[in-house]
Amino acid sequence: MSKETFAFTSSTLRSLRLQREWLEWEERRRAASRQSASRRYQPVARSLLSLPKPTKRPQYCRDPAVHNALYTGDLARIRSIFKDEATANLTVETLSEELVWSPEQGLWVLTPQKKHTSPLRITAARGYQDCVKHLLLQGAEVDAVVGGKAALHDSCANHRAECSRLLLSYSANPNILSEEGLAPLHLCTTQETLPCAHLLLEYGALVNQNTRDRRVSPLHVAAKHGLDDHVQLYLCYGAKIDHRNREGETALNTACASADRPEEAGRYYRVVKRLLESGADVWVAGRKNHTPLHNACSNCHFRIVELLLQQGAEVNVSNCAGYTPVDCALQAVEDYLDGEPERVIALLLNHGAAPINPKMLKFCALSPLTMEIILNSFDRILSCDYWFGSVSPEVWQEHQLFYDSAIGLVNQPRPLQHLARCAVRKQLGKRCHHGIAQLQLPSSLQDYLYLPFEGYLK
């Protein structure tokens, strides 16, 4: 057993308290002696008891039995162990094996890592409300940051609303920062944490408080995780919708960039819609000069792309690498083959996207529908060399009709009907998406102008 590990019996605790009191008295006596020596000709006017108390050294507990009582919420044992302020503020030390890179061995190795926490953090994170209350009544410091976080950080991150309410009622600071510079509101990252976010704001949490390093606001966090209810709550409390983080991104940039999972598309669409309805700027460019439209196109998110274009997003703006939104969409085609990337490309072209560089066709070689849309936007096919080698034999065999038709039209004149379509679309430009419907043409010709999918080129 370590010399800093206690056997938690009544006699041991009584001995510990007596020893601590004697050490504090001895340190005060020595401090008084030093002060007397430095002021030899001045009488000591103050009592030794009035001298400042020395800083308390943290006391560590590594006893597995105590750990087990805390992690299981055993209230009876916790009451028998934690009977005063000293024990309530112990630092609980655990040891776990973690993978750490070893430069000497050139590989990842399991290395023992010490982690520190507190009884209050452990019980608050697990929702043991009665245990939390007992520790607070015994003098546990409600805002103590042990192991990088305070108890309120843990209760909010683990959506323990009742424990959060209890801590706040005992004057926990709703804006306390962890060692990483995060406030409790920044840790409300799931739908289940909404009640905790409500509580924090009711008790005075700053809705526009930024993280220390990246200057991320709670609104950014909610947008990143697709939390529409959190976004609405923060906006009601006055969240700044135009606030930029250290990389220059607004919450709208963040939401569009984070919508990278098709199964979560609906959540992020609602967040983007709410931000736009609240006045978010679709033109703001963040990291690498990516606009929200660049980010949405990189995720091939059709509904968000459509929403941004309806709000006036610029379809031909370039990022720092010279890529337009349609270029970003093309580079993401292979990652979202099941997400109908052809619809995103068609939407961008119908909103006036500039002619696509033939060199970009290699990115959509595995999506015949996307390839068809793009090739039909040209008035002629000059070469297939840019994308021919990128098509796998399996895909070529499955869509042989389309690929054979594309190869057969290289350097061949397109039909007059197709040339007329190109001329009309060029004339309409950015108005294609709604201008075609206003033309006095049969519905079949209107459909033809929208570049429908036919499975082959002619």
Please report which confidence band the pLDDT of residue 25 belongs to, taking 50, 70 and 90 as the band edges. Answer: low
Pairing relationship of beta strands 107-117 and 91-102 according to DSSP bridges = antiparallel
Please report which confidence band the pLDDT of residue 458 belongs to, taking 50, 70 and 90 as the band edges. Answer: confident
Position 17 scores a pLDDT of 61
Q: Give me the percent of the chain exceeding a pLDDT of 90.
A: 67
DSSP for 274-285 reads HHHHTT--TT--
Residue 100 scores a pLDDT above 80: no
Residue 18 scores a pLDDT above 60: no
Residue 212 scores a pLDDT above 60: yes
Q: Whole-number mean pLDDT of the chain?
A: 88
Longest dimension (CA), the chain: 111
Laid out side by side, the sheet with 107-117 consists of 60-61, 91-102, 107-117
Position 46 scores a pLDDT of 41
Domains assigned to the chain = 1-41+51-57 (no CATH), 59-100+107-188 (1.25.40.20), 207-351 (1.25.40.20), 355-458 (no CATH)
Position 249 scores a pLDDT of 95
Residue 2 scores a pLDDT above 70: no
User: Which region among 5-14, 192-201, 430-439 has the lowest average model confidence (pLDDT)?
Assistant: 5-14
Tens digits of residue pLDDT in 133-182: 999 999 999 999 999 999 999 999 999 999 999 999 999 999 999 999 99
Mean pLDDT, range 191-216, rounded to an integer: 97
Position 108 scores a pLDDT of 76
Tens digits of residue pLDDT in 281-335: 999 998 889 999 999 999 999 999 999 999 999 999 999 999 999 999 999 999 9
Torsion of CA 200, 202, 208, 210, to 10 degrees: -20
Position 94 scores a pLDDT of 83
Residue 223 scores a pLDDT above 50: yes
Residue 277 scores a pLDDT above 80: yes
Residue 383 scores a pLDDT above 90: no
Residue 55 scores a pLDDT above 70: no
Top pLDDT among 375 and 383 is at 375
Which residue is listed with tokens 């655990």?
94
Please report which confidence band the pLDDT of residue 232 belongs to, taking 50, 70 and 90 as the band edges. Answer: very high
Rounded to the nearest 5 degrees, what angle is found at the Cα of 163, between the Cα atoms of 158 and 168?
A: 115
Which residue type, as a one-letter code, is found at position 410? V
Q: How many CB atoms lie within 10 A of CB 64?
A: 10
Please report which confidence band the pLDDT of residue 276 belongs to, taking 50, 70 and 90 as the band edges. Answer: very high
Mean pLDDT, range 173-192, rounded to an integer: 97
Residue pair 192/234 in contact (Cβ under 8 Å)? The answer is no
Mean pLDDT, range 64-80, rounded to an integer: 94
Q: What is the 3-state secondary structure (H, E, C) of 73-86?
A: CCHHHHHHHCCCHH
As separate numbers, helices (DSSP H) first and strands (DSSP E) second, the chain gives: 23, 3
Position 56 scores a pLDDT of 60
Residue 439 scores a pLDDT above 60: yes
CA Rg, the chain, in Å? Answer: 33
Residue pair 308/317 in contact (Cβ under 8 Å)? The answer is no
Top pLDDT among 25 and 435 is at 435
Measure Cα distances from 106 to 102, 109, 128 in Å. Answer: 6, 9, 44
Please report which confidence band the pLDDT of residue 16 belongs to, taking 50, 70 and 90 as the band edges. Answer: low
Mean pLDDT, range 91-110, rounded to an integer: 77
Mean pLDDT, range 8-16, rounded to an integer: 54
Position 113 scores a pLDDT of 76
Position 251 scores a pLDDT of 97
Top pLDDT among 284 and 38 is at 284
Top pLDDT among 168 and 13 is at 168
